[in-house]
């Protein structure tokens, strides 16, 4: 959604610029010095957001308060059918699972992406462009197909699980439990939380790598030399200079990973079972199987709010405004 807004704004910007340049009056006045220019530039994006975000959100909120069913028709009766929100209590485990899975996937993504982004930014030399293309390369295949491929990768008789079983990793992980939910079963990975988390990690990894790369690439590598010159070991230099300077990328990357991962249902659908379903699966079922639109809308709305609150707390804590 926001991608579309950016594209529209960029296109508008082109339109504004070209007449000025053709007129040759840019020297004296400069592009965008008119006080209306910012508003003109904002308009397409704002319109886009108003039509495709604000209006649907209001419709969603309204739908969640409807009474009736698909057969009898829906209607709104004041003060609205708030009982739909009781579904939030019913599906609390799925909510919790969504955030735990998404959180773990985000942590794994960060752990995998940071060294990779660091390498691409500082050490890849002439391979930089190639490596960046490789990071994006998976996008050339459908999300669905890539996720299905993990079914094969994590198959019970597949190489990965066989090795994990031999090394007793699967067994070890089957003892890592949160309540009744354990990371794996004693001899299999598919249809367990681990499979879903791995799928999420895999699918959202590029969204972590790219912002991290962008913020690390912007960093002056001489700052690391300066840190080492001032008695920092490489590890301390990483902790005290590189990491704080890459925080904007870390924040952007974790948000870009966590938010879609929390609402995802494909990975849980294809790599998990109903026992490990996430809130996305519940909403999908409510819409398309049960066709209980009000409940589905209520769950969607609560999911959105919950993510907003989490993001707000997270960004406040990360203190991004402190970073230049």
Partner 1 sequence: MSTTAGADLRIIDVTKRFGDFVAVDDLTLTIPAGSFFALLGPSGCGKTTTLRMVAGLEEPTAGSILIGDEDVTWAKPYKRPVNTVFQSYALFPHLDVYENVAFGLRRRGIKDVKKVVEDMLALTELTGLAKRKPTQLSGGQQQRVALARALINQPQVLLLDEPLGALDLKLRRQMQLELKRIQTEVGLTFVHVTHDQEEAMTMADTIAVMNAGRVEQLGAPADLYENPRTTFVANFLGQSNFFDGSITERGADGYATVDVKGNHVRLPMGRVHTEGSSVHVGVRPEKLRVQFRDGAEVREHENRLEVVVTDSSFIGVSTQYLVDTPWAQELTVFAQNTHRDERLAPGAPAIITWAPDHSFALDAAQDVEAGVEIDEDAATPDPVGVGS
Q: Coil, helix or strand for 102?
A: helix
CA distance 190 to 197: 11
Please report whether residue 309 would count as binding partner 1 according to CB under 8 A. no
Identify whether 18 is preceded by a cis peptide bond (ω within 30 of 0): no
Task: Return the residue of 2, 244, 291, 309 that touches partner 1, per CB under 8 A.
Answer: 244
- Using left for φ > 0, alpha for ψ between -120 and 50, and beta otherwise, residue 231 falls in left
Please report whether residue 186 would count as binding partner 1 according to CB under 8 A. no
Which span (9-17, 56-64, 100-108, 231-239) binds partner 1, by CB under 8 A? 231-239
Question: In the complex with partner 1, which residue's Cβ is closer, 117 or 183?
Answer: 117
State the pairing for strand pair 181-182/177-178: antiparallel
First to last CA, the chain: 27
For tokens 């965008």, what's the residue? 32
Which span (39-47, 192-200, 215-223, 277-285) binds partner 1, by CB under 8 A? 215-223
Shortest Cβ distance from residue 122 to partner 1 (Å)? 14
Please report whether residue 220 would count as binding partner 1 according to CB under 8 A. yes
State the pairing for strand pair 67-69/73-75: antiparallel
Please report whether residue 324 would count as binding partner 1 according to CB under 8 A. yes
Closest alpha carbon to 284 in 305, 271, 267, 259: 267
Please report whether residue 123 would count as binding partner 1 according to CB under 8 A. no
Which span (43-51, 114-122, 165-173, 230-238) binds partner 1, by CB under 8 A? 230-238
**H helix intervals, 218-292:** 222-229, 234-237, 243-263, 266-271, 279-288
Question: In the complex with partner 1, which residue's Cβ is closer, 70 or 323?
Answer: 323
Task: Return the residue of 13, 67, 232, 320 that touches partner 1, per CB under 8 A.
Answer: 232
| Torsion over CA: 106, 280, 157, 179 (sign) | positive
Please report whether residue 230 would count as binding partner 1 according to CB under 8 A. yes
Contact predicate 198/207, CB 8 Å: no
Please report whether residue 226 would count as binding partner 1 according to CB under 8 A. yes
Please report whether residue 251 would count as binding partner 1 according to CB under 8 A. no
Please report whether residue 28 would count as binding partner 1 according to CB under 8 A. no
Half-sphere exposure of 179 (CA within 13 A, CB side): 8
Please report whether residue 241 would count as binding partner 1 according to CB under 8 A. yes
CA distance 247 to 318: 8
Shortest Cβ distance from residue 228 to partner 1 (Å)? 4
Please report whether residue 245 would count as binding partner 1 according to CB under 8 A. yes
Judged by the rule CB under 8 A, the positions of this chain that interact with partner 1 are: 218, 220, 222-223, 225-233, 236, 240-241, 244-245, 322-324
């Amino acid at each position: 959604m926001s991608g579309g807004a950016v594209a529209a704004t960029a296109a508008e910007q082109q339109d504004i610029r070209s007449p000025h340049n053709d007129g040759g009056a840019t020297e004296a006045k400069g592009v965008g010095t008119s006080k209306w220019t910012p508003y003109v530039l904002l308009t397409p994006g704002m319109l886009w957001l108003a039509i495709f975000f604000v209006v649907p959100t209001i419709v969603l909120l309204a739908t969640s308060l409807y009474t009736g069913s698909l057969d009898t028709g829906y209607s709104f009766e004041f003060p609205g059918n708030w009982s739909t929100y009781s579904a939030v209590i019913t599906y609390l485990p799925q909510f919790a699972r969504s955030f735990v899975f998404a959180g773990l996937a985000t942590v794994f993504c960060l752990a995998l992406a940071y060294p990779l982004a660091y390498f691409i930014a500082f050490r890849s030399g002439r391979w930089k462009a190639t490596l960046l293309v490789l990071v994006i390369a998976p996008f050339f295949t459908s999300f669905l197909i890539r996720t299905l491929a993990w079914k094969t990768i994590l198959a019970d008789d597949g190489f990965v699980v066989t090795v994990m079983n031999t090394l007793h990793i699967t067994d070890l992980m089957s003892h890592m439990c949160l309540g009744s939910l354990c990371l794996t079963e004693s001899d299999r990975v598919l249809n367990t939380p681990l499979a879903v988390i791995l799928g999420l990690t895999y699918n959202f990894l590029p969204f972590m790598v790219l912002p991290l790369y962008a913020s690390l690439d912007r960093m002056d590598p001489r700052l690391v030399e300066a840190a080492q010159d001032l008695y920092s070991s490489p590890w301390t230099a990483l902790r005290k200079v590189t990491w704080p300077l890459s925080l904007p990328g870390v924040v952007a990357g974790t948000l870009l990973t966590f938010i879609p991962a929390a609402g995802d249902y494909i990975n849980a659908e294809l790599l998990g079972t109903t026992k490990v379903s996430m809130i996305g699966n519940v909403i999908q079922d409510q819409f398309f199987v049960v066709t209980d639109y009000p409940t589905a809308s209520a769950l969607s709305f609560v999911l959105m709010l919950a993510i907003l609150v989490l993001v707000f707390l997270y960004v406040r804590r990360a203190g991004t405004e402190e970073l230049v």
